[in-house]
Each structure stands twice: as structure tokens, then as C-alpha cells.
Amino acid sequence: MTLNQVPDHVPPEMVGDFSLFTSPGMLPTPDGDPQAATACVHAGPPIFYSPFNTRDGRGTWVITRATDQRRVLQDADTFSSHRSIFASALGENWPMIPLELDPPAHGVFRSLLNPLLSPKRVMALEPAVRERAIALIDSIAASGTSCDVMKDFAFPFAVSIFLRLLGLPDHRLHTFVGWAKDLLHGDDVKRPAAARTILAFIDELAAMRREEPVDDFMTFIVQAQVEGRRLTDEEVRGIGVLVFVAGLDTVAAAIGFDLAFLARHPEEQELLRSEPNRIVLAAEELLRAYPTVQIIRVARKDIDFEGAPIRKGDYVSCATMIANRDPTEFECPDTIDLMREDNRHAAFGYGPHRCLGSHLARRDIVIGLEEWLARLPAFRIKEGTAPITCGGHVFGIENLIVDWS
């Protein structure tokens, strides 16, 4: 079977004309809203087959209802996480850990890593997070009346916190962000090149920490034990790559989408400025409205799922942005209501693989918004400019120029 060809077992009436990569609003678009553009699937069936819905041109089943996505993400016996998303860019097959491990191995490594990003650990990091936000925003305020949100704030803020956690130097921040951008949003030439560069960096860092341990994340990993043994080189690499890549794009993108929304809604800005205690709740609604990740599982066996004949080896997409616009889950899902209560959004996934860094991501977003609104006056998208958004495996935003003159 060639890529984009619909497998024989998929009934023609179950093939849908939708892709997170190529549908309207998904390609790089000025003033786009790719998350809102996914809501169109809710006018159709609860599950359909998209012939082109991964970076490498594969088809996937698309699960549209939040409750069905939860079923898939809870059922590791039927739906495997092992996809080699990163390794496939190198033509290799090894898992990012624990993201692409299935139980019981997943639980072993998850237990090892949980304390590193626990609520307690995040609370200890909070003064440094706030200090970094304040320093960046004060510098922006001192240098004029407009800025490029992503370059001047979102990336330097979110990524520097993450680098501190990993024990990596800030002065290479822009280099690291460039690697992540090429890996997550680059073409067929940039992506493998970035993957090789990141892999070499992780391997080199692991070797250095074995020789000269310090108090940082990579030293912890190379010295850690699971089930009475040290980690293998491939396990160290699988953890290092996941944690490095995961921290370099998603939180910055979330902050970018949030500030783009506020730039277009001065009344919401004013509400959060005058009542900053509402920011925690507002951040949850912005996570619902602007999630950035498509989660994919691989069927481990043949199954009939809500009338869909899913066969062993089929890809199954649980896109967070689709679940978060489900009208059976959220009242008025296309309305962004910053006071929405009981917000069961799927921005961090669901089930045993729920995002390991969610506590840190939440605090980064809340603190970033608190300090931005406290230190800068009312802002808007700069006249004559338009942010560029894109869909894909990880949604993104750039060229977000705001002005407060």
C-alpha cells in the first residue's frame, strides 16, 4: 500500500476529507485559528478515516468525541503508544521514554521521572520562573512600545525555565529552539538533520555527566536505576530526547496563542488586569481553546470501535484540539469563556501517558500571563502585521508582533 492510499478494510463511506496538515487553516496562515478550524469535524461522524494525517503522510482514524478519545488513551492493551516519532526521522525504531512505552514498562519509567516534575518540585522552581518572566518583560518594556512575542518573550521564558531544570546553559537557548523548530515544523530535509543534531547533543551530554556528575537532570538519568540495574544507553537517549524536545516548543506556543487571543480581546485583558485572581481559571480555558498536540496510538489488534473496523497496525488519532471542541463535552465549545468552570479539557492528554510536565507547563503559563498583564499596558496586534499560525502534529504560531503605543 502506498502512502495516502486508503486501506482495503476502510469502508469508502468512512473516509473523511479532513487533515490536521492540509485542511483549511492548517497550512501556515496569516491571522489563522487552526484550533477553531478543527471544530468542523463535529458536524460529521464520531470516527472517520483521514488518508493524510501524519507528518510522514500516513492515514489515521480520527476520534472526534472526547469520551471516545479517553477510551482509546486508557486502553493500552488495544492501542499502543510505541510509534518512534523521533527515531523515524532517522530511519530508526526506538521509543522516546516514557511517552512511547506501553505498560508495564511505562509505569516503571514514569515512577522514576514523576518526582522530577512533581507539584512540589514545580513549587520550588516558582520563584525562578517568576524572576525570569519579570526580567524579560521589564527588558521588553524598557526597549520600546512593541515586541515580537515569540522571540522576545514566549521562547526565552518557557525554554530558559526548562533548560534550568535540565542544567543546561541559557546562552545556547536560541540554538536549541532552532533545533526544535526544524524538528517539529521543518521539511523533509530539516527534520532528519535536526533529529541527528539533537541526538548527538543528548549522547554527548550523557557521556559528559557520566564522567563528571553534577546536580542536574541528565546526571540523575545516567545514575538512575530501574529494577535493580542502570539504564541502557538507548533508555538514556529515549528519556533525554523526549524531555529535551517536549520542553522546547509546546509551552512557548501555548503562551503565544494566549497572548494573541488577549491582543484581539481588550475587554478580556482588562478583566484579567483588574482581577488577576481570575488568571488561573482563564489559563485553563485558554488551554482548552488552544491546545497544540495530536496524540496518536497504533492498534495492537483488530477491533470494531464505534462501528469502525480498526485493524492491527492502523494509526488512531486523538487530537487534543478536536476533543476540546466537542459539543457533547463542553457547552458552547467554540466560545472562549475565560470564566468557564469544571473544565475537563484534554490539552495534556489523558490516561497513564498524561503529560509528565503538565504541572510546570501550567505554572509557566499562569506566571507568564500574570507578569505580562501586570507590567505592560493594553496591547494589540501591531497594525500592518499578522501572526502566522499552522496546524500539523504540533500546532504553532510565529510573527506575533504586539504594540502598546
Instruction: Quote the cell numbers at residue 103.
Output: 505498560
Q: 55-66: per-residue pLDDT in tens?
A: 888 999 999 999
Q: Which residues pair with 318 in a beta bridge?
A: 295
What pLDDT, on a 0 to 100 scale, did the predictor assign at position 213?
95
> Which residue matches cell numbers 521514554?
97
Q: In Å, how far are 99, 153, 225 from 108, measured between CA atoms?
A: 12, 36, 10
Give the pLDDT of residue 11.
Answer: 97
Query: pLDDT tens digit string along 241-272?
Result: 998 888 888 999 999 999 999 999 999 999 99
pLDDT band at 167 (very low <50, low <70, confident <90, very high): confident
The 10s digit of each residue's pLDDT in 181-213 is 898 888 889 999 999 999 999 999 999 999 999
Q: For the chain, what are the domain ranges?
A: 2-403
For residue range 118-141, what is the model confidence (pLDDT) as tens digits?
Answer: 999 999 999 999 999 999 999 999
What pLDDT is recorded for position 2? 44
Superfamily of domain 2-403, CATH level 4: Cytochrome P450 (1.10.630.10)
pLDDT tens across 294-306, in order?
A: 999 999 999 999 9
CB 42 within 8 A of CB 68: no
Chain-wide mean pLDDT for the chain? Answer: 95
Peptide bond into 213 cis (omega under 30): no
149 pLDDT higher than 70: yes
pLDDT at res. 1 = 42
pTM: 0.95
DSSP 299: E
Which residues, including other chains, have CB under 8 Å from residue 370's CB and lie 6 or more apart?
133, 276, 279
Say what the pLDDT of residue 340 is. 97
Q: How confident is the model at residue 162 (pLDDT cuts 50, 70, 90)?
A: confident
CA 375 to chain centre: 27
In the prediction, which pLDDT does 4 show? 64
pLDDT band at 281 (very low <50, low <70, confident <90, very high): very high
Q: Quick one: CA torsion of 223, 225, 229, 233, rounded to 10 degrees?
A: -60
SS3 5: coil
Q: Specify whether the CB–CB gap between 61 and 16 falls below 8 A.
A: no
CA distance 400 to 10: 41
Structure-block grid coordinates of residue 150: 515569540
Is the model's pLDDT at 353 over the cut of 80? yes
Candidates 76, 74, 48; CA nearest to 63 is 48
Question: Quick one: pLDDT at residue 3?
Answer: 52
pLDDT tens track for 84-109: 888 888 889 999 999 999 999 999 99
